[in-house]
Amino acid sequence: MKYLCTILLLAGSSLQADDLAPFSDEFNNAATFSKWQDLAAVEGWVAPAYELADIDTTEDGYFHIVPAQNTWFGHLRGLLFYKEVTGDFVVTAKLRILSRHNPGDPTEVPSRSFSLSGIFVHGPRNITHAAPDPYTTSAVWPPQDFGSDYLPNTENYIFLSYGTAGNPGTRQFEIKCTRNSNSQLYYNNTGIDQNETEVWLQMVRVGDTIVCMRKHGEAEPWIVENRYPNAHHPFPAFGDTLQVGVTAYTDWETAGPFNSAGLEACFHFNYAPPAGNPDLISQVDYFRFRRPDPALTELVLQSMSVSYDDIAHSTANPPIELSASPAAAVHLGDNANLVYDPYGDWVTAQFGITPDPADITPDADPDNDNVVNLIEFTLGSDPQTPSHAMAPIVQPSGSDLAFSFTPNITDGATLEVRHSTNMIDWTTIGSRAYEGGDWTPSGPASVNVNGLTDEVTVSIPAAETPQFLMLQASQ
CATH topology of domain 21-335: Jelly Rolls (2.60.120)
- Kindly indicate the confidence band of residue 8, based on its pLDDT and cuts at 50, 70 and 90: very low
Q: Alpha-carbon torsion 437, 89, 333, 54, what sign? A: positive
pLDDT above 60 for 16:
no
Rounded mean pLDDT, 61-68: 98
| Contacts of the segment 3-6: beta carbons below 8 A, 24+ positions apart | 3/394, 3/401, 3/466, 3/467, 3/468, 3/469, 4/394, 4/466, 4/467, 4/468, 4/469, 5/391, 5/392, 5/393, 5/394, 5/403, 5/469, 5/470, 5/471, 6/468, 6/469, 6/470, 6/471
pTM greater than the 0.75 cutoff? no
| DSSP, residue by residue, 216-230 | SSTTSPPEEEEEES-
User: 116-120, 405-409, 417-421: lowest mean pLDDT where?
Assistant: 405-409
Q: Alpha-carbon torsion 374, 375, 380, 383, what sign? A: negative
The overall average pLDDT reported for the chain is: 91
Q: In what order do the strands lie in the sheet with 446-449?
A: 393-397, 400-405, 456-461, 446-449
Q: How many CA atoms lie within 13 A of 305 on its CB side?
A: 14
pLDDT above 90 for 346:
no
pLDDT of the residue at 260: 96
Torsion, Cα 109 113 118 120, to 10 degrees, reads 180
pLDDT above 80 for 215:
yes
pLDDT of the residue at 340: 59
Residue ranges covered by each domain of the chain: 1-17+351-475, 21-335
pLDDT, tens digit (0-9, with 9 covering 90-100), for 440-450: 999 899 999 99
User: 14-28, 208-222, 306-320, 323-337: lowest mean pLDDT where?
Assistant: 14-28
pLDDT, tens digit (0-9, with 9 covering 90-100), for 256-279: 999 999 999 999 999 999 999 999
pLDDT of the residue at 21: 80
pLDDT above 70 for 103:
yes
131 vs 147, 259, 466, CA distance in Å? 8, 18, 62
Q: Which of 112, 305, 23, 332 is nearest to 200 (CA)?
A: 332
Pick the CATH number of 1-17+351-475 from 1.10.760, 3.10.450, 3.30.70, 2.60.40: 2.60.40
pLDDT of the residue at 285: 97
Give the Cα separation of 210 and 197 in Å (integer).
26
Instruction: For residue 409, count other CB atoms closer than 10 A to its CB.
Output: 22
- Kindly indicate the confidence band of residue 379, based on its pLDDT and cuts at 50, 70 and 90: confident
% of the chain at pLDDT higher than 70: 94
- Kindly indicate the confidence band of residue 338, based on its pLDDT and cuts at 50, 70 and 90: low
Rounded mean pLDDT, 344-349: 78
Residue 164: beta bridge partners?
Answer: 115
- Kindly indicate the confidence band of residue 9, based on its pLDDT and cuts at 50, 70 and 90: very low
Greater model confidence, 21 or 39: 39
Greater model confidence, 67 or 141: 67
Rounded mean pLDDT, 332-356: 78
